[in-house]
Structure 1
Amino acid sequence: MISPAIIEQVRQTADVLEVVSDFVSLKKRGSNWIACCPFHQEKTPSFAVSPAKGIYKCFGCGKAGDPISFVMEIESLTYPEAIRFLAKKYHIDIPEEEEQTDEARQAQNERESLMIVLGFAARYYQETLKNHEEGRSIGLSYFRERGFTEATLEAFDLGYSLEAWSAFTDAALKKGYQLELLEKAGLTIRKDENKRYDRFRGRVIFPIHNVSGKVIAFGARILRTDPSKPGGAQPKYLNSPETEVYNKSKVLYGLYQAKQAIRQHDVCYLVEGYTDVISMHQAGVSNAVASSGTSLTEEQIRLISRYTQNITVLYDGDPAGIKASLRGIDMILEAGLNVRVVNFPNGDDPDSYLRRVGNAAFKEYLQKSTVDFITFKASLLAADTHDPFRKAEVIREMVESITRIHDPIKRSVLFRQVSNMLEVEEDALLAESNRIRLQQARKESDRAESQPEFTSAEGGLPESFLPTETREASTPHNTLQYEVESGERELLRLLMGWGNVLFEDGYPAGDHLLEMLADADFTHPVHQKIRQEYAELRNQTQVPDAAFYTQHSDGEIQKLAIHLLVRKEELSDGWWERFKIAIPSETEPKTLLHLMETSVLRYKTSVIRFMTHDVNEKILEAQKSGDVDTELQLMSMHIELKKVERALATSRGNVVIR
């Protein structure tokens, strides 16, 4: 679908720092930029972006790649979708003949097809709102009544669905979209071959966007409840079902429109409803998002943490809203984020309160009424604290919330605050907290005991590079096999990272390395594949550099290269200036040659040890079976292997006990 030339242009143009910054708040550290990983939950940043190398890597979960793979991972896109995404970002035109034709559209995979039909639906509902008589008289009137401006309608792509059985479905079929696809997108409901109807009928439409701005689902509010109309009595709000592209627990309504403001103000306002988000956005408080009609989830909190570590919860003043706020607060604390709360008076929600008091008074109320979660929680429970038993329960709930915080200094400050507020000894609070933490530690210990014994010493190494047997048990055979493959990876690190460094004889360092390894093949197929590719490129007089491997078209090779070439801690450029200590560089030919020679000797030693172990196992088998001839042959092999090991040890300067 997309020519290699266009793909290469995207690769050369896409800046990894710019691309990742669209989704994650990065902080500079040395030559790299760091953040908490967007792919797994963590408290301490282990996600690094290297602009110089054009790659990213998480030293916690092992996710790594270039701008294309990052977009694929973060947005759950296919490779062609990621190329188109980046092409659009960098204004790279894909020639019309390479755009999707009708035939190609039908051949698209399901995910791409769903995104296309959802985009069509969004445009259809917008057109209906603005240009259809019913849309203008009902849908547009409703939005105008709420005070939404034309700019707001455009910013959130608001629309309207006609009060008819199958108006949208008929229009989509006429455009050539398949009925099966409309069903999978959650837009059409089919009872049988001859009976089908629109999911959304007679409703205002709130498109739900992903972080990059593509429509992935819809929320819809009914405006009439006349049972005589199509469908009879229907629920007030109706949302898209979960699909291949939409998981409500992983989406925040309004995040696409709010992400820049969240970064700018370093706080995210978390509300409940679509209109809360839209009204606040129009009032100038554009860093607000909603949990899309679902209880707050860990995935949604992690999504917010890409842009800020500060969340202010704005919930309704009714009992249900308060209960939801308490549940959400504990989850936010557990994720390591800072949380504050605003509670609205008289049962108002953000939208109704804003419309009642106006923009200026609303912003002033936010500033004055935002409190820390301890004050908020204590005020809610204070009415019950006259009963000593109930007071004890209240205190225990407060302690449980604070214990979720991982920062010990924050915990200490909050325990002192609770102690003063509820008149209870601070030592008692700490004792209860320690009891809770001990219970948690025991649970974690039990879980750890159920995990496999073997853990990689090379943290973050893609699991596909660990032998299957090694992942299951740490036997002597598996450990020795892992040592061999670790040695191979160290040699590949030198080959991929510094193989293009020229030695005094004018030949690349990689040539010398392969010459030293002429009598030994690598055991891991990917390792051997890299070695053979280097040899083939040299036959074509090409010398691959590190970028060739970190941007490799083979995903396995690319992941391994990034894992081996990106270090969590790198030597500061100012080391000599600050401490007057000279550290040899691997790029210096003499240092590199020494590293290669040492690594080759160490690798060959591990291979001999592995072979010796296997021979010893076979000797035991021969002894058990009484096969004397085989035993003698194996003993002879064992002696020769030990001779080779001693020779290698002498070369390395080691002493081997006979």
Structure 2
Amino acid sequence: MGISRATTEKVRERADIEDVVNDYVPLKKKGQNLWACCPFHNEKSPSFSVSPAKQIYKCFGCGKAGDPIQFVMDIEGIGFGEAIKHLAQKYGIEIEEDKASTPEDIQAYNERESLYIALNFAKDFFVNNLKSEEGRAIGLSYFKERGFSQAIIEKFDLGYTLEGWDHLLKAAKAAGHSEEILLKAGLILQKEGDPSRLYDRFRGRVTFTIHNLGGKPIGFGARILTQDKKQPKYINSPETEVYHKSDVLYGMFQAKKSIREKDNCYLVEGYTDVVSLHLSGIENVVASSGTSLTENQIKLIKRFTDNVTVLFDGDAAGIKASLRGIDMLLEGGLNVKAVVFPDGDDPDSYSRKVGSEVFNAYLTSHAQDFIAFKIGLHAEEASNDPVKRADLIKQVVLSLSKIPDPIIRTVYIRQSANLLEIDEEIIQVELNKIILKVQKDQYFRDQRDQETQETPFEEFLPTQEEHVSYTTQLEAQEREMMRMLVNYGFEMVSEELSVCAYLLQETEDLKFETPVFNKILNLYKDALANDILPQPEYFLNSPDAEVKREIINMITRKHEISKLWEERHKIFTITEADDLAKSVYDNILRLKQKVIKKMLEEARIKIKEAQDSKGSNDSMDDLLKVYMELKGFQIEIDKQLGIVISS
């Protein structure tokens, strides 16, 4: 169930952008705006601007932009609803439910909330068990032996589950939690063959609470402390409505702020590795909890940084089995480094063995980029074996093919050639084979349900450079037209005609190629139809983050002309607002010019198709006639814009 519109509006009214941002970064006034170093990327000179007057923020370095709600979503890595709740709590606003929700929505919402409440109860129950006689003797003793401080135990909500079949079940039912919700939360189990017999899932184990990005408990990992070989070392919560293993990384709630600040994420295997690194003062660390990395987990890391350092146990066989994870990280657009610990050690054991200072120094000095790491891993066995050496080259090239950025890929090609002592061209040739195969496979997948064409479709299209250039120019001109509409819509270009009336009239038959500008245009027209004068603030209240970001880009400037130029030095500059009629008129002409260029390109393609298929003379004449008419329109517009056309 959603949050009511009234609650959202109260949050919008109360939330102050300066107040919200100041909770995370210190702001300094410069001109009309406030400035800081961007909290979303590393920089030395402030490019992060906050406008109290417009209630928006924008980074001119990384492009992040939005209102107070969007800022909380970006900085905390949470969704819209969670951001509203966060701000409502900050400003003491009562959260009202959305009365327009269907009964099914209400039931689903209530069930999810009940799961969260039950899981939080279980977390508190496990944590408090550490204070019991059994908990102190077994659970707390285990944590203390590993060097976990009380502050760390509280930070990660570490706990203990008592021996016995139903301690949690009895306590939860006494507190009002239903058996149905406890089952759905994965906290209790039904006895096989007798569904009426219920018992605790976790018994006689220490627990590691798994949190979502907002800090709510959503599951648990539980470690056995005895040497019972019939029992698994770890038991984890099952998939539930609120816990999807493929979407979660252990420790991300505690690490996200540090990951963003350090612009790097350490990736380890287990719960204790994460906790031990925090003890060593390293907070930008998460764990895959013993499972294979997933695409969603990689996307989660990328929300906070582009850099990841994988920490491997000192076990060569285990490392080689984990290399697929590195390729997945590369494919996800991350910059990957690796650190290997001495044989027999993992991050947890090594940090306890050498202490925080030596451990931190080891991470810094032993971090290798993935190419040096992968080659070094196989170098010894491949040095005197041509077959294994050839296989190593193929494995390196396969990893290189996963890198989406061509510039980064080129740098690594050169490095690989040097380390492998082979010609750079050999790597490039093998890499091209892989990339070409991937492209061909994708092409045939896309064309599987379409008719086969004798002539490759690519021959009819503009070159990639022409297409990219044209697309960029058209998008830029569409943005300019929307910027004029949003900023000057209700200014007058004549005694009887407003900017918005003129622009909407002239573009009535045009359809924008860029979807977000179509969204803004439709919002603008809908507002006018409802007798609303859509100023920029109207669009900033839209729930569409893409719309808000574009509007902010349209109404903000990185640099402002100082008032002292006019007041003290009498230097006057001409702006587009000084001759608004000409600015708007030229803007429309340029937009039409770009649209006609697109139509000319489409006409050219149709003519080439007709030539190659040897169509009728009549159809060719019609196509040529259309082409010449469009060419005439282009020449006329170019003349009005003062563009000289060479014969």
TM-score, normalising length: structure 1: 0.67
State the Cα deviation string for residues 547-585 of structure 1 (Å, max 9, x = none).
1122136x5xx86576577469989768xx9xx999963
The answer on 1:129 being equivalent to 2:120 is no
Instruction: Tell me which moved more, 279-288 or 319-328.
Output: 319-328
Aligned in 2, Cα 1:51/1:282: closer, same or farther, shift over 3 Å?
A: farther
8 Å contact kept, 2:265–2:286: yes
CA distance in 2, matches of 1:328, 1:73: 26
Aligned in 2, Cα 1:77/1:126: closer, same or farther, shift over 3 Å?
A: same
Letter in 2 for 1:172: A
CA distance in 2, matches of 1:72, 1:409: 31
Shift, 1:157, TM fit: 1.1
State the Cα deviation string for residues 444-496 of structure 1 (Å, max 9, x = none).
4334546999xxxxxxxxxxxxxxxxxxxxxxxxxxxxxxxxx9999987655
Shift, 1:247, TM fit: 2.0
Letter in 2 for 1:87: A
Aligned in 2, Cα 1:450/1:268: closer, same or farther, shift over 3 Å?
A: same
What is aligned with 2:212? 210
What is aligned with 1:267? 264
What is aligned with 2:581? 590
Q: Tell me, what secondary structure is at the counterpart of 2:202?
A: coil
What is aligned with 1:183? 183
Instruction: Tell me which moved more, 188-197 or 16-25.
Output: 16-25
Q: Tell me, what secondary structure is at the counterpart of 1:327?
A: helix
CA distance in 2, matches of 1:499, 1:452: 45
The answer on 1:550 being equivalent to 2:544 is no
State the Cα deviation string for residues 478-519 of structure 1 (Å, max 9, x = none).
xxxxxxxxx9999987655433446676997557778x69x9
Alignment of 1:378-457 (within 5 A): 378-385=375-382, 386-408=384-406, 410-449=408-447
Q: How many residues align?
A: 546
CA distance in 2, matches of 1:179, 1:74: 37
Letter in 2 for 1:534: L
Shift, 1:139, TM fit: 0.8
Shift, 1:172, TM fit: 1.9
Instruction: Tell me which moved more, 438-447 or 164-173.
Output: 438-447
Unaligned 5+ residue runs, structure 1?
Answer: 35-48, 228-232, 454-486, 606-645
The answer on 1:347 being equivalent to 2:344 is yes
8 Å contact kept, 2:17–2:68: no
Shift, 1:335, TM fit: 2.8
The answer on 1:154 being equivalent to 2:154 is yes
State the Cα deviation string for residues 103-126 of structure 1 (Å, max 9, x = none).
x99884433333232222222211
Shift, 1:272, TM fit: 0.7
Letter in 1 for 2:314: G
The answer on 1:173 being equivalent to 2:167 is no
State the Cα deviation string for residues 183-211 of structure 1 (Å, max 9, x = none).
22222223565222222111111111223
8 Å contact kept, 2:269–2:288: yes
Shift, 1:349, TM fit: 0.8
What is aligned with 2:468? none
8 Å contact kept, 1:273–1:290: yes
Q: Tell me, what secondary structure is at the counterpart of 2:219?
A: strand
Letter in 1 for 2:271: Y
Letter in 2 for 1:223: L
Aligned in 2, Cα 1:509/1:370: closer, same or farther, shift over 3 Å?
A: closer
Unaligned 5+ residue runs, structure 2?
Answer: 26-36, 99-104, 452-476, 512-517, 566-570, 597-632, 642-647
What is aligned with 1:310? 307
Letter in 2 for 1:114: L
Shift, 1:10, TM fit: 4.7
Letter in 2 for 1:144: K
8 Å contact kept, 1:269–1:313: yes
CA distance in 1, matches of 2:429, 2:212: 45
8 Å contact kept, 2:208–2:222: yes
State the Cα deviation string for residues 280-315 of structure 1 (Å, max 9, x = none).
110122222211221122332332233333322111
CA distance in 2, matches of 1:158, 1:170: 21
Shift, 1:588, TM fit: 5.8
Shift, 1:161, TM fit: 1.4
The answer on 1:534 being equivalent to 2:532 is no
Q: In structure 2, which of residues 19, 24, 40 is the aligned counterpart of residue 25 of structure 1?
A: 40
Letter in 2 for 1:25: F
8 Å contact kept, 1:163–1:202: yes
CA distance in 1, matches of 2:365, 2:520: 60
8 Å contact kept, 1:253–1:289: yes
Letter in 1 for 2:423: E
Aligned in 2, Cα 1:338/1:569: closer, same or farther, shift over 3 Å?
A: farther
Q: In structure 2, which of residues 288, 291, 294 is the aligned counterpart of residue 294 of structure 1?
A: 291
8 Å contact kept, 2:378–2:392: yes
CA distance in 1, matches of 2:47, 2:398: 37
Shift, 1:370, TM fit: 2.5
Aligned in 2, Cα 1:506/1:412: closer, same or farther, shift over 3 Å?
A: closer
CA distance in 2, matches of 1:590, 1:25: 40
What is aligned with 1:110? 111
State the Cα deviation string for residues 605-625 of structure 1 (Å, max 9, x = none).
9xxxxxxxxxxxxxxxxxxxx
CA distance in 2, matches of 1:360, 1:55: 39
8 Å contact kept, 1:296–1:328: yes
TM-score, normalising length: structure 2: 0.68
CA distance in 1, matches of 2:305, 2:390: 35
Alignment of 1:351-362 (within 5 A): 351-362=348-359
8 Å contact kept, 1:277–1:288: yes
Alignment of 1:218-229 (within 5 A): 218-224=220-226
CA distance in 1, matches of 2:319, 2:244: 25
CA distance in 2, matches of 1:118, 1:587: 62
CA distance in 2, matches of 1:166, 1:346: 42
Aligned in 2, Cα 1:309/1:226: closer, same or farther, shift over 3 Å?
A: closer
CA distance in 2, matches of 1:495, 1:507: 13
Letter in 2 for 1:94: I
Shift, 1:426, TM fit: 3.2
What is aligned with 2:92? 93
Letter in 2 for 1:205: T
8 Å contact kept, 2:55–2:68: no
Aligned in 2, Cα 1:588/1:271: closer, same or farther, shift over 3 Å?
A: farther
Q: Tell me, what secondary structure is at the counterpart of 2:223?
A: strand
What is aligned with 1:163? 163
Q: Tell me, what secondary structure is at the counterpart of 1:238?
A: strand
Aligned in 2, Cα 1:592/1:53: closer, same or farther, shift over 3 Å?
A: farther
The answer on 1:369 being equivalent to 2:384 is no
8 Å contact kept, 2:39–2:260: no
CA distance in 2, matches of 1:242, 1:375: 38
The answer on 1:250 being equivalent to 2:243 is no
8 Å contact kept, 1:203–1:222: yes
Aligned in 2, Cα 1:505/1:423: closer, same or farther, shift over 3 Å?
A: closer
Aligned in 2, Cα 1:97/1:309: closer, same or farther, shift over 3 Å?
A: closer
What is aligned with 1:468? none
Q: In structure 2, which of residues 189, 195, 198 is the aligned counterpart of residue 196 of structure 1?
A: 198
Tell me the C-alpha RMSD between the 2 structures: 5.4
Aligned in 2, Cα 1:438/1:108: closer, same or farther, shift over 3 Å?
A: closer
What is aligned with 1:475? none
CA distance in 1, matches of 2:69, 2:450: 33
CA distance in 1, matches of 2:215, 2:244: 16
Letter in 1 for 2:222: A
Instruction: Tell me which moved more, 422-431 or 563-572.
Output: 563-572
Q: Tell me, what secondary structure is at the counterpart of 2:130?
A: helix
Letter in 2 for 1:442: K
8 Å contact kept, 1:32–1:50: no
8 Å contact kept, 2:330–2:403: yes
